Amino acid sequence: MAAPPPNADGSTSGLRNAQLAGIGRPPAYVAPRYIAKPRILILVTALCLSAGLFGCSNCQQARRTLFQEPKAYSNKKDREQSLEAYRAWADAAWRTERRTCSAGVVNDDYRAGFRDGFVDFVYAGGNGEPPPVPPRQFWNLPGRMPGGQDAAAAWFVGYRHGAKTARVGGYRERGVVLSSFMALGNAEAAMTFVPSLPTEALPPGIEIPSAAPLSPEQPSDVEPLPSPPQIHATPTSGEGIEVFMEAMRRGAKRKPTSTNLQTDATSDIAAVANDVIAAQTVVPDGD
């Protein structure tokens, strides 16, 4: 680097002196020995906080839900494999069923409906009836015209045929997970399982016995027991006020027998109450 020229008087300024001395130059870049990755730090911090806040049990449940269960059973993967297998079953069943159909009925739309009905019944079950509307290829203008609606009608008929074939052939039972009640030879499960509600009507010839009508009560020669006497042990609230007023009137008329007025008043109230109870007591007739 060339030195800056001196001033006109031959002297050099402070800036030139600093430049000549090397002061003010940017320092050379020194690479750090180690730079921590922020993503790793954030992940480690989040794991530590999760373990401290939620506990080990919640972490184990999250691991099971996010990793172990999807690895054991994947709905997306199983659906693709199941539909592929069910379509192969439908094609094999179609090769047998097409022989029983008349020549004028069988066409491509009928065959497509047969396959869709077969696969849908095996995969999802149901009553075997087609959906309210046909697939999208029948929604176009040619399919909505009077002459084009025959294709949708053929698809509906084929759908019912395919679902019936799957139901009669027992293909639905092959496509579901085996439960303890469906296991063959499990007599104990068959004996203990009792449906809560009947699912179908009884066969003809079997009737449920009706309950016997209640017989009327027969007259008896035994005389009924007499009703117990009704005794009011304590007067009602209104009678209690009357008892108190009567006791006050009696106390005002007679002379005190003792120096304790409270004792006299209590005796008067007790005497009046006994009179009221005796008057209300019903004595049963001895006859």
Residue 30: inside a domain, yes or no? no
The whole domain housing 56 covers 39-73
Q: Of 129, 130, 122, whose CA–CA distance to 171 is shortest?
A: 122
134 with 152, same domain? Answer: yes
Distance CA 282, CA 231 (A): 6
247 with 164, same domain? Answer: no
Let me know: does 225 contact 280? Beta carbons within 8 Å.
no
**Any residues with CB less than 8 A from the CB of 45 and at least 6 apart, and which?**
none
Give the residue carrying structure tokens 């199941």: 82
Residue 188: inside a domain, yes or no? no
155 with 92, same domain? Answer: yes
Per-residue pLDDT averaged across 241-269, rounded?
Answer: 63
Domain boundary among 124, 152, 174: 174
52 with 135, same domain? Answer: no
Highest mean pLDDT among 9-18, 78-87, 201-210, 278-287: 78-87
Residue 224: inside a domain, yes or no? no
DSSP 148: T
Apex 85 CA angle, 82 and 89, nearest 5: 130
Domain boundary among 49, 73, 97: 73
Q: Of 114, 229, 250, 90, whose CA–CA distance to 172 is shortest?
A: 90
Per-residue pLDDT averaged across 147-167, rounded?
Answer: 93
User: Is pLDDT above 80 for 45?
Assistant: no
pLDDT at 196: 47
User: Is pLDDT above 50 for 179?
Assistant: yes
86 with 162, same domain? Answer: yes
Residue 138: inside a domain, yes or no? yes
Domain boundary among 153, 174, 195: 174
User: Is pLDDT above 90 for 206?
Assistant: no
Q: Compute the mean pLDDT over every residue in the chain, rounded to the nearest whole number.
A: 72
Distance CA 114, CA 109 (A): 9
Residue 136: inside a domain, yes or no? yes
Q: Which residue has the higher pLDDT, 232 or 250?
A: 250
51 with 81, same domain? Answer: no
User: Is pLDDT above 90 for 132?
Assistant: yes
Per-residue pLDDT averaged across 257-283, rounded?
Answer: 60
Residue 132: inside a domain, yes or no? yes
Residue 206: inside a domain, yes or no? no
Q: Which tokens hold the place of 248?
A: 């006050």
Residue 195: CB atoms within 10 A of its CB come to 6
Residue 249: inside a domain, yes or no? yes
pLDDT at 39: 76
User: Is pLDDT above 90 for 67?
Assistant: no
86 with 170, same domain? Answer: yes
What total number of domains does the chain contain? 3
Q: Of 196, 209, 194, 102, whose CA–CA distance to 157 is shortest?
A: 102
